[in-house]
Chain A
Amino acid sequence: MASKLQARRREEFKRYKEDTQREGKPFFPYAIYHDTVMSVVTVGVIIGLSFVWYFTADDTPQGDGLEAGVLGPWYADKADPGTTQFVPRPDWFFYFLFYLLRIFKWPETVLLGTVGIPTICLVLLLALPFYDRSPERRPLRRPVAMVAAILTVISMGVLTWKGATAQEALGSEIIASGEIEQWAAEQGFSDSREAIDGASLFAQTGCLNCHVYLGIGNANLGAPELSEVGATGRGADYFKSYVANPAQFGNNVMISYSYLGDENLGKLAAFLDASKGHGAAAEGG
């Protein structure tokens, strides 16, 4: 059963041992010197990161430690099991698994993303010496192995990066990241208090779960992009009536937002009316 291959492997190992005995160098000091230098670098990096983390975050004397520096804050807020405002994320080296879960967004496929694919990958990794049986070790003569390795590294890198930058179009994230002010600057409604309040409402009420606005939001549910909806010239009253009762205008997919109340609807309408599209700010629109 492939005993010729096995004999070839054993002979190579025998040659390896002879070569090492004959031509090799003692571990101390030749190899252990390299190891020591690398270990010093490792410890130095760890200490360096600690210094950068500690001294760039919250350097005010009486600070609360919650201000983030280059490498994050000293502390996050204390655990609150009843929060409704927090965006959970795992440790960075789990981002690839985290993004895998976002890819599998159909309920039937949840099991694949949580348990299925990670288990398969782990089994493939463990069993590697048993399905890659050729004695060849030179990289340029192992094309399958090299291509597989490069693909794995690239995909894990991409998954990790996308996990790091993933953002839900949820109100709290948008408001926290200062997106509202950016919208106001770009659309030119920074001086309209009502439009700014309307923008916050727009973010909070989940409109971006179906619509796209200035590059964020959800595009695949068939709802129109609203970045330039104000340019149609229909006026705030039209938007107010529409949002309060979309069915009246023939839209049977969008729910009625009349529960927001008259004042909030007015603000939303002002925001939509002020959204006249790119370059509107320059034109003074």
Chain B
Amino acid sequence: MSNLHDDDTPEVPGPSLWPIGFAIGIACLLVGLVISVWALIVGAVIAVVFGWLWVRELTLRHATPAPAVAEAEPVAATAEPAMETYDRGMFLGAATIGLGGLIGAAVTVPSLGFMVLPSFVGDGVKTSDVDLGPISNFPEGKYVITTYVEDPDIGEVSRRTAFVRNNGLTTDGQPSFSIVFSRCVHLGCPIQPNGPADGSPLEYAADGKPPVTLQPVLAASFGCPCHGGLYDGEGNRTAGPPVRALDRYEFSIVNGNLILGRLYSVGEVLGNGASAKISKYYHAYPGVHVDGVERFLYPIPTPGSRS
């Protein structure tokens, strides 16, 4: 068509809806890379379908009809049907968009993936089965401020604190521990036990691992210095903005030593001590409701947070 124009005005393609569908498909694809394989597949399908429709529209619309001159020629023995031809300009335009899109994708998608994905793959900071020492170090009925390094490979940045209480034995004769994470579940500030220290701190070091510090305290409640959150002895919220009970650690006992497991979030704790009933959820961020009607605001747990 462009050979019919004598002036300089460029011919722009008309408005079209296919690029919107294509963009939605690409967005779905990138989100799916983070969240789930199904979203990725759906996104890829949408992108391919709409991309094909878009390219088709760009190229097919401007197919030039066979020139009228040809009809005046005597019909040749081999009567070929007039072929649809592409205008050269449109072909180059489509090729540019196609190749340009390909190059753009080849550069952008890996870079975006590199920027975004590593935060979402893997288990994040591994608890790495931290060995907290023999259970005899934990006096029954008392909270012990236990500070440890979660992952020695990444060092001090993974230092954490938990409040560990030996609850004695359950009715089945199993050892019971309440291991409460020391970060407030409102916005993550470090919680303080409401009570004085009881005696001097102990240290326990497993072979080749950073030492674990144990400081017993006389405390039956916790408070947060940031926005006024208060918790009772089981980690339930008693006052202030915390949206659920304090997070806890799973644990196991191996050769008489207390070994930390994974973190999980708690809706509330009924009862106390060895007979407490803990409503357990995936490990959620502070401020995220795990029960009640507000939990529908956070429908998708981030990758790696499910235990």
Contacts and interface: CB of A to CB of B under 8 A. Distances in A.
A197 to B, nearest CB: 9
A171 B220 contact: no
Interface in B220-250: 220-221, 223-228, 230, 237, 239-244
Contact of A206 (B147, B198, B223): B223
Contacts of A88: 189-190, 225-226
A102 B219 contact: no
Contact of B220 (A84, A106, A257): A257
Nearest to B226: A88
Contacts of A209: 194, 221, 223, 230, 239
B190 A83 contact: yes
Q: How many A residues touch the partner, as a band?
A: 35 or more
B157 interface: yes
A56 interface: no
B186 A110 contact: yes
Contacts of A260: 195-196, 218
B220 A86 contact: no
Interface string A81-121: 11111111000000000000110111111110110000000
A200 interface: yes
B160 interface: yes
B294 interface: yes
A170 interface: yes
Contact of B287 (A102, A110, A172): A110
Nearest to A106: B241
Contacts of A168: 223-226, 228
A114 B194 CA distance: 27
Contact of A114 (B193, B223, B287): B287
Given A82-B159, A110-B186, A264-B218, A170 B195 contact: no
Nearest to A87: B225
B192 interface: yes
Contacts of B287: 110-111, 114
B176 interface: no
B158 interface: yes
Contacts of B289: 107
6 contacts: A81-B159, A106-B241, A110-B241, A110-B287, A114-B287, A204-B194
Interface of A: 80-88, 101-102, 104-111, 113-114, 168, 170-173, 200-201, 204-206, 209, 221, 255, 257, 259-261, 264
